[in-house]
Amino acid sequence: MNTRILLNLGLSAAVIILALIFFYGPDKSEDKVETSPLTSTNADKIDTIKIIHTQSQNQIQFKKKEKGKWEIVAPIQAPANIVKVETLLDILKTPSYSHYSVENINLGELKLNLPEINLYLNNTKFGFGSTEPINHRRYVLLKDTVHLVDDIVFPSISGNSAKFVDPALLPGNKEITEIHLPLVTTSGGNPNVDVKHTIILKQEKGHWTAEGTTDHRFSTGSIVKLVQAWQDQTTRQVDLRGNKAVLATIEVIQGEGTAPIRFELLSDLPQLILARPDFGVQYNLPALAWKNLFQLTQEEQVSPGLTDDNQGD
C-alpha cells in the first residue's frame, strides 16, 4: 500500500471521527444559562410610571393617554418619547439570569439597601443596585428577591425629565395652517435675526401665501416645503429650558381657531436652539435646520427667509 493511499485513508478516517463528534458529541446548549422573565405582567396593563432618584428625591411621572401614547405629567408636562417609555416597560419581560432571596444576600454590598433609583410600573417597584464585574449585569430588587439582569434600563432612567420628551418640535399629526417667522439672513456663514421683521405664512382655501414682505413672488412649493419641515423636524437632544435670553418668538398655528404654539429662539447663535415654554424644554437643532426651517426661495429673486449676502447682487 503506497503512501498516497495511506494518506487518503487517514484523511477519510479523520472526517468520519469529526462527523461522529459533531452528531453524537455533548450538546453545548446544556451549558446555556436558563432564564425566565422578570415578571409575568403584560405591558398593556401598565398605565402609570414613576422614576424616583433616591438622593435628590427628584421624581419623573408618566401617564398613559391611550395605547402607544404617553405623557410626562411631572415635573414638566409634555408628550413622552414612546421609544424610551417602551424601554422602561421592557423590564417586565427582561430575562433574570439568576435570583436570590433577600434573606440570603447582603443588600448593602449590592447597593440595594437604599437603591440609587427606584422605578415604579403601576405599583410594582424595581430597585436598581450595582453591577457585577464579569458581564456587567445589574442587580435589581423586586419584592423580596434580587435578580441579575442585562443593564438596559438603568442608563435610561438616570437622566432628567427632558430626556423623555418626544423629540418632535410638533408632536402629533395636526396640520399646520399658519406660521409667524422672524427674518433670518446670513453674514459670513452666521445667522442674523431681524426681530423687527416678521414673515407670515398662511394657508387660505388650500393655497399658501407669504405676508410681511414687499415682494410676494414666493414659490408655493418652497412655502409648502418649509411648513412641512416644521411639521417633521425632530432632534436628538432635548434639554430643560436654559436661562438664555429670547431673540425672537415664533408662532405655529395648527387649525383655525386654535391657540398658537409659541417657540422661543434663544440667543445662542450660531447654534439654533428653540425653546417651548409650555413644555419647559429646549430643542438643540443641527445647523442644517436654519435652512430647513427659515429658508424660502422666490421664483425670480432671493427670499427674505435665510439668504446669503452675495445673492441677488
Collect contacts of 57-62 with beta carbons under 8 A, ≥24 apart. Answer: 58/160, 60/160, 60/161, 60/164, 62/164
Asked if 146 and 244 sit in the same domain, the reply is no
* Judgement on whether residues 157 and 182 belong to the same structural domain of the protein: no
Report the distance separating Cα 12 and Cα 281, nearest Å. Answer: 71
**Do 156 and 46 belong together in one domain?**
yes
Is 43 in the same domain as 148?
yes
Residues 145 and 211 in one domain: no
Residue 14's Cβ-count burial label (10 Å; 0-12, 13-18, 19+) is exposed
- Asked if residue 235 and residue 137 are part of one domain, the reply reads no
Domain that holds residue 289: 178-294
pLDDT tens, the chain, 313 aa long: 555 565 555 556 555 554 444 444 444 443 455 688 999 999 999 999 999 999 988 999 999 998 889 999 999 999 999 999 999 999 999 999 999 999 989 999 999 999 999 999 999 999 999 999 999 999 999 999 999 999 999 999 998 999 999 999 999 889 999 999 998 877 777 888 888 889 999 998 888 988 876 555 667 888 999 999 999 999 999 999 999 999 999 999 998 888 999 999 999 989 999 999 999 999 999 988 998 999 787 654 444 454 444 444 3
- Please report whether residue 168 resides in a domain: no
In a domain, 254, yes or no: yes
List the CATH number of the domain containing 56: 2.60.40
Instruction: Report the length, in residues, of the chain.
Output: 313
Q: Do residues 60 and 74 make contact, with C-beta atoms less than 8 angstroms apart?
A: yes
Per-residue cell: 82: 414612546
- Looking at the 3D structure of the chain, how many domains does it have? 2
Is residue 235 in some structural domain?
A: yes
